[in-house]
Structure 1
């Protein structure tokens, strides 16, 4: 692979973001409790910094021109041949929203404390993995993403992992109408998980879903904690659907929401709002993802 321009996207550690919290704690007991947490944050911060430094050294040794940006400052990415996502799965999910068709290589910046399912390298192996990539011996895996529309307006971000459709208050019941293909059902529950194959080892798996092969273009849905009062018996509780199956959720909530790939990106669903979910026109192209990694979950 020939690389003319490369973008490095990095995370900020908890220590960078919240490390000064101890200065705000006047109570000695509270400061003592915080000290052990701060120590863990400092260790993780050091690991993140060393990994980022190593990544930059590898690129400089390979004479590759690169830009470096904090993930919180991301905008739609264009003009790059490759993106290096340096962090964990959260960073890579953030990158996926902006990557478009640009391929990505994930680098786990803190293997001791980060799961980083999507990352093919870490500080110890980035030199070897990057050489494999340049020599075209690192596999490029296309991962299906989801495209969302609310009231026929397509949203600007794809989902790589999953969606959670629920009330914005986690203690409140979600009410909605669910359409899967030709079937339609009104339900009340704690919400609905909807995932890709790549996201099938995440939240939906913990809720009782199935792990799908990474190459699958199928989608999976699962209703969380369905309300069974008043003799309610639902048919559409869980299933795996084909790529062309129509999926729509109509909100019967004033304060509903759809959470995209975790808690940080949310769109509001009010009374009568319709959310439709289809396959995104372009997959995320990810380097070095080993399908056997799913066996750990």
Structure 2
């Protein structure tokens, strides 16, 4: 049972600049290592030209440096960081509605008690909304775009200046919502997880995953680099890479384009695909893709003694162990995300 709603949760995540500082300790150290990376890349490209007997001019060296700097441009990181923090401070001013506001870093989502919240405001990239939705339950989720010039904002319908009005509509129960279909997995060990975009099932390392797969009454043993189970929201994400690979192979071998499957975000269906299936004496690849309608199940049984995992929405640190003897059932979840759109 949910306790009394008495706060607004604002979910944030570190900027790339903050990530650099955490990795390298100080701004000066980060600057030094970024500069060293540029010099290393320029020298690498010069040596490649030299091995081919191609002369390198000063203009070439400048072009090498410009290209390398694009990958390590500290000014871009600083601009992103400044814009994000400015937007965050403005957001707090917009949400000054007489209700306590609690900031929650992305890394603490799995342990935060959302049952105390009236709503969840997400300020970041689209992927942060996906990370939040599976923990927020049926709470209204308000996606705020902190940097419209950099972020597409597919799941971030509001500018910072619009957050106050959006929250007021939620408080008055006048907000418009888009229901988002979630995927769900349940294991025989009693564990449950939901996904906004997708599930990955496989091995923690780059070793092949071994498992049995059962769908549409067909069951087979497989060995692959993992299985993806995607919602409509995730169909343009990780799952799209499967279609990209298949389309590229089709163009190369037959000079034709394969059609792509798509699902609406509120459609009560999932799609699944096996990544890089391997055929051997012990594994087959007859059943490598399908659609799960509401009420259908995809059942996977682990044949991996160790390192088997299930995680959702790209969050590898929050995973379910999926080792030998464990069986996981994937289906359309009864739980839906409620994305505020107006």
TM-score scaled by length of structure 2: 0.73
Taking a change above 3 Å as real, the CA distance of residues 69 and 183 of structure 1, as seen in their structure-2 partners, is same
The CA deviation at 1:48 is 1.0
Taking a change above 3 Å as real, the CA distance of residues 248 and 257 of structure 1, as seen in their structure-2 partners, is same
Which residue of 2 is the match for residue 236 of structure 1?
287
1:57 aligns with 2:93: yes
Provide, for residues 119-167 of structure 1, a one-character-per-residue CA deviation record: whole Å limited to 9, x for no partner. Answer: 1113354456556656766420121222222224133x42111011122
1:30 aligns with 2:40: no
Which residue of 2 is the match for residue 19 of structure 1?
21
Taking a change above 3 Å as real, the CA distance of residues 66 and 173 of structure 1, as seen in their structure-2 partners, is same
The CA deviation at 1:66 is 2.5
Taking a change above 3 Å as real, the CA distance of residues 271 and 115 of structure 1, as seen in their structure-2 partners, is farther
Provide, for residues 227-260 of structure 1, a one-character-per-residue CA deviation record: whole Å limited to 9, x for no partner. Answer: 1456976331111121111221111123221121
Taking a change above 3 Å as real, the CA distance of residues 256 and 116 of structure 1, as seen in their structure-2 partners, is farther
Provide, for residues 92-121 of structure 1, a one-character-per-residue CA deviation record: whole Å limited to 9, x for no partner. Answer: 223223212211111122334334432111
Q: Secondary structure at the match of 2:107?
A: helix
Which residue of 1 is the match for residue 217 of structure 2?
182
Question: Any stretches of 5+ residues in structure 2 without a counterpart?
Answer: 40-67, 244-259
Instruction: Spell out the pairing of 1:75-94 with structure 2 (5 A cutoff).
Output: 75-94=112-131
CA distance in 2, matches of 1:271, 1:69: 36
Taking a change above 3 Å as real, the CA distance of residues 116 and 266 of structure 1, as seen in their structure-2 partners, is farther
Q: RMSD over aligned Cα, in angstroms?
A: 2.9
Find 1:194's aligned residue among 229, 234, 242.
Answer: 229
Tell me which protein shows more helix as a share of its residues: 2
Q: Secondary structure at the match of 1:200?
A: coil
Q: Is the 8 A contact 2:269 2:332 kept in 1?
A: no
Question: Any stretches of 5+ residues in structure 1 without a counterpart?
Answer: 290-297
Q: Is the 8 A contact 1:6 1:82 kept in 2?
A: yes
Taking a change above 3 Å as real, the CA distance of residues 215 and 29 of structure 1, as seen in their structure-2 partners, is closer
1:39 aligns with 2:75: yes
Q: Is the 8 A contact 1:19 1:38 kept in 2?
A: no
Q: Is the 8 A contact 2:232 2:264 kept in 1?
A: yes
Moved more, 203-212 or 19-28: 19-28
Which residue of 1 is the match for residue 329 of structure 2?
276
Q: Is the 8 A contact 2:199 2:313 kept in 1?
A: yes
Q: Is the 8 A contact 2:130 2:313 kept in 1?
A: yes
The CA deviation at 1:190 is 1.5
1:223 aligns with 2:274: yes
Which residue of 2 is the match for residue 294 of structure 1?
none
1:66 aligns with 2:72: no
- Equivalenced residues, count: 284
Q: Secondary structure at the match of 1:215?
A: coil
The CA deviation at 1:29 is 4.9
The CA deviation at 1:83 is 0.9
Q: Is the 8 A contact 1:109 1:123 kept in 2?
A: yes
Taking a change above 3 Å as real, the CA distance of residues 173 and 128 of structure 1, as seen in their structure-2 partners, is same
Which residue of 1 is the match for residue 194 of structure 2?
158
CA distance in 2, matches of 1:29, 1:41: 14
Q: Is the 8 A contact 1:147 1:154 kept in 2?
A: no
